[in-house]
Structure 1
Amino acid sequence: APGAEDTVDLLTGELLPAAPAPPKAQRAASGAPSLFLEPAALMRCLDNPDVSVAAIAAHVLALLYSCPAIDASSGDAFVRWLLAALDGQSSTAGGGARPEARELVPVLSVLLRRVSMRHEVGSSGGVQLLCRLLQATSRESGNAPAAASPAAGAAARSLPQLLYELCFCLWTLSFQEELQPEFLTTGAIHTLTQTVQSAPVEKVQRVAIATFANLCVESPEWERPKYYREMHAAGLMKALTSLKDLKANQWKDADIEEDLDLVLDALAKNYQEISPGERSVAEVKSGTLAWGACHEQQFWKENVRCIEEDDFAVVRRLCTLLHSPDEEVIAIACYDIGEFCRFYPRGRDIAKHFGAKDAIMALIDSENPEIQRHALNSISKIMVNKWEGMSA
């Protein structure tokens, strides 16, 4: 890998021929700033085969576009590149390699300082992408083994900071009224609730709770019952109450207790009884499935009708989760689809329509024995007309 000086030389070589600075007298006459740096030239650096050059160019572009003096309308191409890189697309259209996601989350956090860029990121699926990254990082943080090498130890120690930066990005987006509904439709509230419960450091909890406070205060008053209902469905009130009892005024940051009390007070004043079916829908929307009462035969027998909402959106979401990177989520999705087919009239036809049969058939050859077992059971329920009396 090149050293810092080599990387700067490469970056300078990319920039200067493409965007030569005008003479000093010309800059003075035009009123241009003394530092002449064209975003278009930096955009070309994003396709550089050296990922160090691409990473530095991305950081500089984020700084430029976060500045009000720079025209934000030309930043849509950079936003597309950045979100594609964060989404795990390892190469650009020009064949260049992209930096890893953990290198680019700080870039996004800088870019989101500017309100117009928040809208650009949010309207391009940014909230949903950040939720997926937050779920994946939380899993990695929870499953991180003892470091076998200094490099592995450094990577493990960087996970809390990455969690913080992801939550910070969601927090900045939660200020925008037009983006707040995304926190309902993407399962962000459920994901952030789980983050609060499992966060390894206080600053992660602080920014996650601050995001909930924004949704309680910054959202239009007539829309707030929707957010309260989703928070109750995610179990946020119980999670925050337990956290408050555990910490008992031992917070290092006084602001966190203020936000925590604000959210708890809002939830207490707007308490809503949540049915098991509503809890299940909220969990599936979030994409963070875990074995429990919502994934048992009795639940599906009693609550299968709750899946009808929004043209069977839960079934469509379960089909998407069959491709999750989390193997437990895949196994649970297989089980739930099988139970839906078993108890819902024409459930088999609906599941087939959404592509469940083909996706589950492919999972029968999985190397994971749990996925294989649940895929076999599920495909049997999809294909057999009368399941009664057969082993689940």
Structure 2
Amino acid sequence: MVIQNKDAVAEVPLALVSNPYLDELTAGLRARPIPWEGYQRATLITQTELNYIKAVEKKTGEDLSRVVDNEGPVYADLFVSLLQKLVRVDTIQSILILIDDLLLDHEERATYFLDLAKKDPSLPYAPLLKCLRSEDDFVPLKASKILTTILCASPKPSTEAAEELFRWTTAQLQSNNPAVVDLAVQVLESVLRQRAVRPIYWNSPHAMDALVKILKTEAPTPQMQYQVIYCFWILTFDTEIAQELNRRYDVIPPLVEIAKSAIKEKVIRVIISTLRNLVEKAPEANLAAMAAVKLLTFTENLSTRKWSDGEILEDVNYLKAELEENFQTLTTFEVYQAELLSGRLIWSPPHQSDLFWTKNWRELKKENYALLRILARLLSTASDPVVLSVAANDIGQYVKRDPSSKKFLQELGVKQRIMELMSHPDQDVRYNSVNASWSLIGGSGRV
């Protein structure tokens, strides 16, 4: 899976949906009889359509291939037509099973469905997208799998279909059913292979938030970690996304933390490949954040390990070389800013350096005190004693050099929060809060 150059993304293996939960639902519904003859008697379907259905009903694998290989376009037209004109849920379920059986292990048959657009531009997507909106438990899941196969096979994926599918996956990522979440992520893994749909997903409301949330707050399994990060990896072949991904979602720190504790080699592999993309596509946007989490040290450690996949070492060494070369050009403030933006403050050298603060304190005033506001927010929201200690220290360092900011900080609630932290259970938090209070109330000494 390791990528050697920007064009090699085309070599990503096709990973279509394979979900035991959906398979179990399918098996439970497959044997149920559908009154096709009754539909024919009610003139809802023709005798010819009935004959075609009976020829494939209950058939799978080679038995199905012998029937449909010569008449694939006919069956695609038939099944989509049935979705359009029949409404009973159990019938829709059965039609979707028939379509999925036709496509299973034969993704090339998706062309039969794509060719329907020649007679009706809304096909094949409109009836399947309608299924996504069904309140039935099974219908949207099966439709999403079929849509995935068709979108992946399309030389020019439908924007409208991708948009609606991504709205659906975003909702499913928030499901309480892990199997449904797994299916939604698999859909994304597959569909995002299509270059044209990546910006659509990136700009889909709340889509990235839902995906990132799984990684940061849901305590995912190693397999789910891999699948979500695989989506990040594919997305970061897009330069605009590589430029914005960490700035918007702060993914570099959790990616590195996951890699440090990962047992599964494939999890480390996909993380290193993602980080490589971020360096290749958008170094200026990502190198400082990588410096802030000590990524160079970690890659040095990784380069000494033995890997079953030799390409991992190649990626690690590439990443290490790029970091060694580029870290030299980073200013101390760029690294400080990246650390601050990550929210993971540690006692790195700038925090207690008078030279650093004398040189850089004005940077915290820029863009309407953007960085100072982040410090204030961390004081209010962080629970880690180290983060609280460092944030209190930095507030004190800043105010000593800009006494005129005291009123502004008081309006942000910083003074009140510092007073509260002076009785914090952690000794370092108390110490740094007391020192910050001296700056805020006009004193000049340190405890």
TM-score, normalising length from structure 1? 0.64
Name 2:336's counterpart in structure 1: 280
The 3-state SS of whatever aligns with 1:307 is helix
1:1-392 alignment runs, 5 A limit: 4-5=24-25, 32=77, 34=79, 38-45=127-134, 62-63=148-149, 65-68=151-154, 71-83=158-170, 86=173, 99=177, 103=182, 104-124=184-204, 130-136=211-217, 140=219, 159-186=221-248, 187-217=250-280, 219=281, 224-245=283-304, 247=305, 250-287=306-343, 289-293=344-348, 304-318=361-375, 331=388, 335=392, 338-339=395-396, 342-343=399-400, 345=402, 346-351=404-409, 377=433, 381=437, 384-389=440-445
What is the Cα deviation at residue 206 of structure 1? Answer: 0.6
User: Runs of 4 or more off by more than 6 Å in structure 1?
Assistant: 21-24, 322-326
Aligned partners of 2:376 and 2:414 also within 8 Å: no
What is the Cα deviation at residue 264 of structure 1? Answer: 2.2
What is the Cα deviation at residue 253 of structure 1? Answer: 0.8
What is the Cα deviation at residue 252 of structure 1? Answer: 0.9
The 3-state SS of whatever aligns with 1:113 is coil
Note closer, same or farther for the CA distance 1:268–1:389 as it changes in structure 2 (3 Å cut): closer
Q: Distance in 2 between matches of 1:326 and 1:315?
A: 19
The residue identity in structure 2 corresponding to 1:44 is: R
Q: Distance in 1 between matches of 2:211 and 2:332?
A: 27
Q: Distance in 2 between matches of 1:132 and 1:318?
A: 23
Provide structure 1 residue ranges, at least 5 long, that are not aligned to the other structure.
13-20, 89-96, 141-157
What is the Cα deviation at residue 208 of structure 1? Answer: 1.1
Cα RMSD after superposing both structures: 4.9
User: What whole-Å deviation, never above 9, does each CA across 1:301-337 have from its counterpart, x for those lacking one?
Assistant: 5554443454433344456657869756874686367
Note closer, same or farther for the CA distance 1:177–1:311 as it changes in structure 2 (3 Å cut): same
What is the Cα deviation at residue 174 of structure 1? Answer: 0.7
Name 2:16's counterpart in structure 1: none
- Same amino acid, percent of matched pairs: 21
The residue identity in structure 2 corresponding to 1:244 is: S
Q: Distance in 2 between matches of 1:279 and 1:233?
A: 6
Aligned partners of 1:338 and 1:382 also within 8 Å: no
Note closer, same or farther for the CA distance 1:58–1:238 as it changes in structure 2 (3 Å cut): same
Note closer, same or farther for the CA distance 1:262–1:106 as it changes in structure 2 (3 Å cut): same
What is the Cα deviation at residue 237 of structure 1? Answer: 2.0
Aligned partners of 1:233 and 1:282 also within 8 Å: yes
Counting matched residue pairs gives: 338
Aligned partners of 2:233 and 2:270 also within 8 Å: yes
What is the Cα deviation at residue 356 of structure 1? Answer: 5.3
What is the Cα deviation at residue 294 of structure 1? Answer: 6.2
The residue identity in structure 2 corresponding to 1:175 is: F
The residue identity in structure 2 corresponding to 1:136 is: T
Larger radius of gyration: 2
The residue identity in structure 1 corresponding to 2:231 is: C
What is the Cα deviation at residue 283 of structure 1? Answer: 2.0
Aligned partners of 1:318 and 1:333 also within 8 Å: no
User: What whole-Å deviation, never above 9, does each CA across 1:167-204 have from its counterpart, x for those lacking one?
Assistant: 21110011112212113523333443333333332211
